[in-house]
A and B are shown apart, each in its own frame.
Chain A
């Protein structure tokens, strides 16, 4: 158990809908990272927050947005969903804003299926 909690574990929704994925980082961790992993594909970096502020952005679609709240949990909002958005979405956390010599810890992911 990495200490990173993601909910829901599984989600099935229709095209055009909007969903919210939630992540609770490890206790004390200030950074949250979001990744997307489609079937048999690699990990695509989406976005990173540090202590409530956006710190780095990857190839995140405009239909997707995220935020980190004062209690440090984070939410990834996916809207106008398309079939191609079906993927495993991972959250990871670390205690710093830059990896350097520390480690990021991943949650078990949220499976999103768009039908």
Chain B
């Protein structure tokens, strides 16, 4: 099973870059890595998805090393509104179980 491991929490200040790393040692060959953002009492929201190397969109970048056993979500110049829980998601082995890890609670301070 492609269990994911992330830091439980992180603190940052407005304007800083935040990097959240997720380890997924047992990722399968065909699996993508997806990151979600969740605010309290809301459904998780898709941020970014990647397979290898680097992916960038308007809100974040995702870095994936060659061995794909980890990935790093990079949030440039965070603001207070980026305070949320961030999950990386990798499918569990050859099943369709989409099991989320504990997530990383990011707190951004003014």
Contact = CB atoms under 8 A, between A and B. Distances in A.
Interface of A: 2, 4, 31, 33, 35, 42-43, 45, 48, 50, 55-58, 88, 90, 92, 97-101, 103-109, 111
A4 B45 CA distance: 12
Interface of B: 30-32, 34, 36, 41-46, 49, 51, 87, 89, 91, 95-103
B31 A100 contact: yes
A42 B103 contact: yes
Given A106-B43, A107-B43, A101 B49 contact: yes
Contact of A109 (B32, B42, B87, B101): B42
A48 B95 CA distance: 11
A65 to B, nearest CB: 18
B96 A104 contact: no
B2 to A, nearest CB: 11
B98 A33 contact: yes
A99 B42 CA distance: 22
Given A99-B91, A109-B43, A56 B96 contact: yes
B98 A108 contact: no
A99 B43 contact: no
